[in-house]
C-alpha cells in the first residue's frame, strides 16, 4: 500500500475514534439540516426536525412529515453520515421512525429509532424513543445494544418554549466495556420577533465537559430562513440556509467550521405541511 494511502487511512482511524471515543456516540450528533445550521441545537424543535433531537417535539405535529440528511465531516468521504426519519400523527399520539449511518467500510455505526410523542396538556408534551445501536469493524467484529431516550417540552407563553432531553439514562453498553453516550440537554426557544428566533442549549455528558450552544434564525421572506450558531468545547461556528415551498417540500444547506479540522458541509431535504 502506498505511503500516502497508509497515512490517510491512519488519519481517518484517528478521527473516527476521536469523534466516537469510548462513548460510541457520533450518531447522537447526527441530526437534521436544521440542527446542522444551528451547530447541533435540536432539543427545542417542534416539527419533524425534533425526531432526531427531542421526541417530545413531534407531539406538537398535526400532519405527516419526513426528512433526509447527509453530512461529510471535514470533507472526508470516510466520515460521511446520513440520517432519515418520518412522523405520522394519530389520535392516539404521534409515531416516528428514524435510521442513521456514520462511517465507512471498515468502521461504521448504525442507529434505528422508534419514537412516540404526545401532547399531554395544552402547553406540555412528552416523548421518547427506543434505540437500537450497532457498531461494525472489520478487525474486531460487531456489537449492538438497545437503549432509550426521553424528553419533554413546555410552552410557557407565546414567545418562550423550554425543553429537556436525556439519552441513554441506563448507561447501556456495547459489548463488555464500551458505554454509549449518556447525556442530558436543556434548551430554550425564544421568538424575538415574528421573523427571528433565538435558540440556546446546554448539553452535559457524563464523560466530557458541558457544551453550550446558541443560535439564531431569521426569515427575510416566509419561505427563506438563514441560520447561524456558535458552540463551546470545542469552539466552532455554523451557518445554514433553508427554503421551503408551499407544497411542503424544502431543502436545508449548512456548514460547520472547526478551527483545527476544517469544514463540515451538509444538506437535507424535508417534507412537512404547515402546522395549524
Domain ranges of the chain: 3-272
For residue 25, count CB atoms less than 10 angstroms from its CB and return exposed for 0-12, middle for 13-18, buried for 19 or more: buried
Q: 166-175, 186-195, 220-229: which range is least confident on average?
A: 166-175
Average pLDDT over residues 93-122: 93
Instruction: Give yes or no for residue 276 having a pLDDT over 60.
Output: no
pLDDT at position 28, please?
57
In this prediction, what percent of the chain has a pLDDT beyond 90?
A: 66
Instruction: Go through 107-144 and write b for each residue having 16 or more CB atoms within 10 A of its CB, e for each that does not.
Output: bbbbbebebbbbbeeeeebbbbbebebbbbeeeeeebe
Q: 116-125, 153-162, 180-189, 202-211: which range is least confident on average?
A: 202-211
Strand partners of residue 100 = 83, 111
Instruction: Give yes or no for residue 29 having a pLDDT over 70.
Output: no
CATH match for 3-272 among 3.40.50.620, 2.40.160.60, 2.60.120.620, 1.20.140.10: 2.40.160.60
Average pLDDT over residues 221-230: 96
Residue 19 CA, chain-centre distance (Å), reads 15
The confidence band for 274, taking pLDDT boundaries of 50, 70 and 90, is: low
Q: What is the pLDDT of residues 48-68, one digit of tens each?
A: 999 999 999 999 999 999 999
pTM for the predicted model, two decimal places: 0.88
> How many residues comprise the chain?
276
Residues 19 and 143: their CA atoms lie apart, in Å, by 18
Instruction: Give yes or no for residue 99 having a pLDDT over 50.
Output: yes
Residues 206 and 3: their CA atoms lie apart, in Å, by 39
**3-state class of 14 per DSSP?**
helix
First to last CA, the chain: 59
Amino acid at each position: 500500500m502506498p505511503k500516502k494511502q497508509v497515512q490517510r487511512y491512519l488519519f481517518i482511524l484517528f478521527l473516527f475514534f476521536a469523534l466516537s471515543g469510548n462513548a460510541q456516540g457520533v450518531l447522537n450528533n447526527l441530526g437534521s439540516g436544521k440542527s446542522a445550521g444551528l451547530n447541533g441545537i435540536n432539543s427545542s424543535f417542534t416539527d419533524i426536525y425534533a425526531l432526531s433531537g427531542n421526541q417530545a417535539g413531534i407531539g406538537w405535529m398535526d400532519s405527516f412529515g419526513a426528512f433526509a440528511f447527509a453530512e461529510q465531516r471535514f470533507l472526508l468521504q470516510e466520515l460521511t453520515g446520513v440520517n432519515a426519519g418520518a412522523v405520522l400523527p394519530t389520535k392516539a399520539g404521534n409515531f416516528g421512525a428514524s435510521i442513521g449511518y456514520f462511517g465507512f467500510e471498515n468502521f461504521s455505526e448504525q442507529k434505528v429509532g422508534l419514537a412516540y410523542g404526545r401532547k399531554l396538556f395544552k402547553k406540555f408534551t412528552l416523548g421518547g424513543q427506543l434505540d437500537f445501536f450497532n457498531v461494525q469493524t472489520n478487525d474486531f467484529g460487531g456489537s449492538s445494544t438497545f437503549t432509550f431516550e426521553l424528553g419533554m417540552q413546555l410552552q410557557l407563553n407565546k414567545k418562550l418554549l423550554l425543553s429537556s432531553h436525556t439519552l441513554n439514562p441506563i448507561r447501556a453498553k456495547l459489548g463488555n466495556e464500551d458505554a454509549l453516550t449518556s447525556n442530558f440537554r436543556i434548551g430554550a426557544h425564544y421568538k424575538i420577533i415574528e421573523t427571528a428566533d433565538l435558540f440556546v442549549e446546554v448539553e452535559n455528558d457524563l464523560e466530557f465537559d458541558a457544551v453550550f450552544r446558541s443560535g439564531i434564525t431569521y426569515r427575510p421572506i416566509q419561505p427563506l430562513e438563514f441560520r447561524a450558531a456558535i458552540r463551546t468545547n470545542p469552539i466552532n461556528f455554523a451557518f445554514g440556509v433553508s427554503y421551503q415551498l408551499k407544497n411542503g417540500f424544502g431543502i436545508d444547506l449548512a456548514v460547520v467550521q472547526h478551527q483545527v479540522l476544517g469544514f463540515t458541509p451538509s444538506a437535507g431535504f424535508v417534507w412537512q405541511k404547515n402546522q395549524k
